[in-house]
Structure 1
């Protein structure tokens, strides 16, 4: 089933500029005005749901799973010194100018519409337009509830991303500034200031809880590219994990299995089905590939060493380059039509396992860990870890392998305490290899706002990372 941009997507601007009372008035027959719940669901798909694109794939370059492809550099087809290597240099080395220029010194764009920040708010605008007007639609109450629940859930998902890009981690400073909260489609006369991290998280939780309240009584629909009940509970368990609300995290993960969620034995499944709806673990597909350019940046040696040789996630996720025997990513299908990212049951298992460790329920956590590994590692035999510290690390390692290059690792590093990271880089073949370090609790763990946004919204106060000096390699 193809994921299509629906025919009503162009009217989001009309909805945002129209009052509720005027929205459903009769217009010229040449205008398309949503009236039914079906219309609004299509509008949400076209203007609220993320298309087959990914505006935050730059996170690929910033965590500790990535390395520079120096070993391939022999003067023949080497990435060293290439424009591709340099363009993404600022992200890879955590430079304060990363939101405004690329590694060649070119201005990325003076148009805020090109930023990840703007694009998420554009989808939020689509959600808000539906939320403001769905109650007036023609249709049954269950139909309205489903559309409203979907809009609330995906709006919460976008705010979760934004707060983890531009605000401090919740477990570090919930009172710190985050991003503005725009919860209606109407225009505002004044510039919007930043809400606190806690306020944004409160909105996220409230939206997801209301979405589950509305949708849980309805039939569960799978594999139609609309978010469903299990996916909503997985997202809510993820949010509680970041908030360190362990009991709530576990409770939401439990609901996934109460609603038919399951683990799929990937050791017996074809590789092509892992991150598709052919995998029964997958509850929701969305967006484009978070993988970035692979000809210059590869999985780091430290990360590669974590995989067991019989772990099918290695076989499915990486392709060995014949010329150099170095791996390139092959995890995501590169499609401009169908979504390739997924929310799947494996996350519920790992969220619950981590929560159980923190709740001192080590046997339950160990069971979840063994259950997951048994479906990922050929011939796996259950193990037992009785030390809390060791078991927590084992769960987090499994999470790192399970969701590598899917946009999880950077957000997880933030909630783990923002550890130091070192990346190596070579600008030209004739120059030495240098190392760039992101210090522990570095300000760059909270990204700077692009200047194009600050110029258009003076109330959007810059983060400390935006005034740092250039980071120098050693």
Structure 2
């Protein structure tokens, strides 16, 4: 594993000079791109593209904990004013957390663009995995744009819902070429939400992209950190769910569930720590003591080497049914050598080493995606069956929900407890049109605007006002 991290670190630094500005980055990437003149350097640069997600400004901490903290699974108990703004839904456009997260995602996109351009242009006969390299970079790019839309796009009714009450369709700036020249780096306006979705779907095209991926990536001998067909189909299933494309969400979920060797682990707690069990974890972000994340550090108290910035919420605790075996993992206040008040999760406990893996997609989520898609299409028996697979692993009996409405409510709650502390809750409430649960009144313009995060102020200023701010900020 250490070898993987060394490679990720070395080739992640190839791109670091390109992250100084936000989406309209200065054309410093030409030097880096010129290094990518042979298959080996392009393959290495692909690993650098993967490393963008590891940052604490992205999936290494902030992106996924903010989705639970802006909702009702995590409480802010620390002293960071920038975190307090997010928790209290009083975000200003100059919030440093929002700015850094946006910037890091676009840095990841630019890395993908650079790899795609270099690989496409390379004609070496020894580049036998060229199409696979391009496909992996495209899936990563789709993942980044999808993550941008989740926070900064869509409208008060969710995603892929058409124009909002003002007739606007809110997307994000769409860049699909590396910033090699001045014209490449020139400020651009936001694309429509629909256009961003089209790019995401193009980058996840089953025949043009996913078919070029390895069925099982050879790098995934110990855990699934490289994208293969299973991971791409899982992401496509999630994308289809957000778009309300129930048939495709079900079909792609079924494709993933049907892969030989896939099943839920019997013990929920064994999914977490410095591991990524291949049996259930479809795609994970791996860390080690040299290349750390600070997730556990933010949950744990100073007495245990942590910062005590965030805490599991009492609402999350109360969302668990009696007998739910996940409760002690998702919410605990027990005092011991490993854990201490206030409430925290035991999904991330490695404070001193910082090497908790961060799962991106798990098989349990795929079952819940298929359950929701089936319920939306009227296949209530199939939906209940998928829901029960997840419930039964948690020590719970089969669901009592029978009607479509009750099943969808049960699935939403199941997603809350099964995927707690993994960055889904706020987005699920948006999709379900249930933002009122967290105090956002989508019928009141003075509140509805909080369904999206603000575009960073520096992005607006850098663009010369070409970039339009989200309403309300």
TM above 0.5, yes or no, is yes
CA contact (8 A) 1:356 1:364 kept: yes
CA contact (8 A) 2:46 2:112 kept: yes
Output the CA distance in 2 between the equivalents of 1:262 and 1:383.
23
Q: How far did 1:383 drift?
A: 4.1
Change (3 A) 1:44 1:23: closer
Q: How far did 1:390 drift?
A: 0.5
Which residue is 1:27 aligned to?
none
What CA deviation, in whole Å up to 9, does each residue of 1:263-288 have, x standing for no partner? Answer: 22333x66364783235101211275
> Secondary structure of the equivalent of 2:389?
helix
Which residue is 2:365 aligned to?
347
More off after superposition, 135-144 vs 183-192: 135-144
Which residue is 1:445 aligned to?
451
For the pair 1:173 / 2:162, whether they are aligned, the reply is yes
What CA deviation, in whole Å up to 9, does each residue of 1:54-104 have, x standing for no partner? Answer: 4324334210223466xxxxxxxxx6xxx34x452211111141x424xxx
Cα RMSD (Å) of the superposition? 3.2
Structure whose residues are more often helix by fraction: 2
Output the CA distance in 2 between the equivalents of 1:421 and 1:292.
29
1:5-404 equivalences in 2 (<5 Å):
5-12=8-15, 33-49=35-51, 50-55=53-58, 56=63, 57-67=65-75, 83-84=79-80, 86-97=81-92, 99-101=93-95, 108=96, 115-135=100-120, 136=122, 138=124, 140=126, 142-168=128-154, 169-173=158-162, 176-185=169-178, 186-189=180-183, 190-209=186-205, 210-215=208-213, 222=220, 223=223, 225-260=225-260, 262-267=262-267, 271=270, 273=272, 276-278=275-277, 280-286=279-285, 288=293, 293-294=298-299, 295=308, 297-322=310-335, 327-334=343-350, 336=354, 339-377=357-395, 380-404=396-420
Change (3 A) 1:390 1:220: farther
CA contact (8 A) 2:240 2:246 kept: yes
Which residue is 2:468 aligned to?
461
Output the CA distance in 1 between the equivalents of 2:191 and 2:115.
23
> Secondary structure of the equivalent of 1:165?
helix
> Secondary structure of the equivalent of 1:156?
helix
Q: How far did 1:333 drift?
A: 4.8
Change (3 A) 1:307 1:270: closer
Output the CA distance in 1 between the equivalents of 2:111 and 2:354.
21
Output the CA distance in 1 between the equivalents of 2:198 and 2:442.
27
Q: How far did 1:409 drift?
A: 1.1
Q: How far did 1:327 drift?
A: 2.4
Tell me the number of residue pairs that the alignment of Structure 1 and Structure 2 aligns. 417
CA contact (8 A) 2:273 2:348 kept: no
Change (3 A) 1:356 1:145: same
CA contact (8 A) 1:263 1:375 kept: no
Output the CA distance in 2 between the equivalents of 1:370 and 1:272.
19
Output the CA distance in 1 between the equivalents of 2:217 and 2:316.
41
> Secondary structure of the equivalent of 1:41?
helix
In the TM superposition, structure 1's runs of 4+ consecutive aligned residues that sit over 6 Å from their partners are 13-16, 289-292
Q: Which ranges of structure 1 fall in alignment gaps of 5 or more residues? A: 25-32, 70-78, 102-107, 423-436, 467-474
CA contact (8 A) 2:283 2:362 kept: yes
Output the CA distance in 2 between the equivalents of 1:43 and 1:214.
18
Output the CA distance in 1 between the equivalents of 2:355 and 2:399.
42
Could you tell me the TM-score, scaled by structure 1's length?
0.78
Output the CA distance in 2 between the equivalents of 1:407 and 1:224.
19
Could you tell me the TM-score, scaled by structure 2's length?
0.78
> Secondary structure of the equivalent of 1:284?
strand
Output the CA distance in 1 between the equivalents of 2:277 and 2:215.
26
Change (3 A) 1:398 1:123: same
